[in-house]
Amino acid sequence: MRAPGDNLLEVENLRVSFATEVGAAKVLDGVTLTIRPGEIMGLVGESGCGKTTLANAILGILAGNARHEAGTIRFGGADLLAMPRRQVEAEIRGRSITFIPQDPFGSFNPLFPIGAQIMEVMKWKSPGRGARERRGIAGFFSRYPRARRRADAAAVAQMLRTVQIVNPERAIAKLPYEFSGGQRQRLMIALALLPQPQLVIADEPTTALDATIQAQILKLLKRLAKDRGVSVLFTTHDLGTAYEICDRITVMYAGQEVETAPVDDFFRRPQHPYTVRLLESLPHPGRELREIGGEIPALVDPPGGCRFHPRCLRASEACRAERPAVTPIGGGHEVRCYHPVTGAVPA
């Protein structure tokens, strides 16, 4: 089922900690995750579960106080964490792996027109960029090759039409504040797809948007990703959004991934007690609200074993002692639990 060659991205047993005033916060604790070519992978969890840290780790943009403790991130067969930084910057980040951020308001420099900012990115990250063009400071002072510039500009105009920016010729001369949040997120999607990446990491891209705009953006992102065969790692705290757009879903809790399943199976047959409780806490007419008792643990001194065990009604001694291994239960559904919830249909 899981032949290594099939996967575009393989995160294996990744451990990342952050140095804080009160000690090392163990933010990722042995995370394992795969993304296949052309699929939209949902990474779901509540705030503080480590999903943004995982996204940043893949992009190689962890904060300065982060420490990579163990594990690998293999992208197309190469270990990103072992790769020289210059190579990551030249070939991976912004080129093969691009990023759509959560906040469409802070993503553009407010002082420059949109078009100039997009072209600045294209100068460095366009798929037409030759291997011999200069990098670093030399590249900063070297001219944007004219032929490539013309081709890139045409690609940008084409892409802006694709993401349904009204009147792209005039739009590129506008300043960021002249666009609404939804329009800016369309621009971010365009910017993420222009380098023709293999993987787009979208970090809560619709959280800041209104419901009708969110629906439009999800629809657009899904269509574009499927048309182009691009893989997407879509992080969200909203299970409804994940249902809309994802092919597969992984749930994270306090720095550990607990369950992975194809989307329909995930919602029909959730196995991990945390997933079940999470689904039960969604408001649903005709069903009483059920919260998960207790609070998310502090990551500086997390519970041992399965980190959910202090809040879990099914927890046993084994859960406290050691974290369960990944257990396949058929149909690509995997769960890390000694006492999975079989046959429950919460919604």
Partner 1 sequence: MKAALDILRKLLRDPSAALGLLIVLLLIAIAVMAPLLATHPEAVWDMNPRQRLLPPSEAYLFGTDRMGADIFSRILFGARITLTIAIVAVGAALAIGVPIGLVSGWRQNWFGETLMRVSDIFLAVPQIVLAIAISQTLGPSIENIILALSVTYWPWFTRLVHAEVRALKNETFIEAAIALGVPTWRIVLLHVLPNVMSPIIVRTSIGMGFTILTASALGFLGLGAPPPAPEWGRMISDAREFLPEAWWYALAPGLAIFLVVMGFNLLGDGLRDVLDPRIRRAGAGR
Partner 2 sequence: MSDAPILTVEGLSRHFPVRNMFGWKTGAVRALDGVSFEVRAGETLGIVGESGCGKSTLGKTLAGIHRPEGGRMVFEGKDITGRSARERSAVAARLQYSYQDPGNSLDPRWTIRRSLAEPLVVHMALKPRERTARVRDILQQVGLPHTHLDLYPHELSGGQQRRVGLARILTLHPRLVVLDEPTSGLDVSVQAAVLKLLRELQSAFALTYLFISHDLSVVQMMCDRIAVMYLGRIVEMAPAERLFAAPRHPYTQSLLAAIPDIGGRRVTDTFALEGEPPDPARPPSGCRFRTRCPRAAAVCAQTDPALRPLAPGQSAACLFA
CB nearer to partner 2: pick between 23 and 77 = 23
Minimum distance from CB of 52 to partner 1 (Å)? 7
With binding defined as CB under 8 A, does residue 295 bind partner 2?
yes
Taking the CA atoms of residue 298, residue 334, residue 344 and residue 318 in that order, the dihedral angle to the nearest 10 degrees is -50
**For the residues of 95-154, what is the DSSP string, one character each?**
TTEEEE-S-SSSSS-TTS-HHHHHHHHHHHH-TT--TTS--HHHHHHS---HHHHHHHHH
CA dist 172 and 115 (Å) reads 4
CB nearer to partner 1: pick between 176 and 255 = 255
With binding defined as CB under 8 A, does residue 22 bind partner 1?
yes
Using CB under 8 A as the binding rule, the residues of this chain from 219 to 238 that contact partner 2 are: 219, 222-223, 237-238
Binding mask 142-161 for partner 1 (x = CB under 8 A): --------------------
CA dist 286 and 177 (Å) reads 43
Q: Which of 81, 121, 157, 213 binds partner 2 (CB under 8 A)?
A: 213
Among partner 1, partner 2, none, what binds residue 50 when CB lies within 5 to 8 Å by partner kind? partner 1
With binding defined as CB under 8 A, does residue 63 bind partner 1?
yes
CA dist 64 and 201 (Å) reads 21
CB nearer to partner 1: pick between 25 and 189 = 25
| Pure H helices in the chain | 51-59, 85-87, 114-125, 136-141, 146-162, 168-171, 181-193, 211-228, 239-245, 263-268, 273-280, 317-321
Name the strand (E) or helix (H) holding 262.
Answer: strand 256-262
Distances (CA, A) of 222 to 2, 39, 102, 180, 276: 25, 10, 17, 21, 26
With binding defined as CB under 8 A, does residue 282 bind partner 2?
yes
Q: Return the range that interacts with partner 2 (CB under 8 A); candidates 54-62, 152-160, 227-235, 277-285.
A: 277-285
Q: Return the range that interacts with partner 2 (CB under 8 A); candidates 123-131, 177-185, 190-198, 328-336.
A: 177-185
With binding defined as CB under 8 A, does residue 298 bind partner 1?
yes
With binding defined as CB under 8 A, does residue 20 bind partner 2?
no
Interface residues with partner 1 (CB under 8 A) are 18-22, 25, 27, 47-48, 50, 52-53, 63, 65-66, 298-300
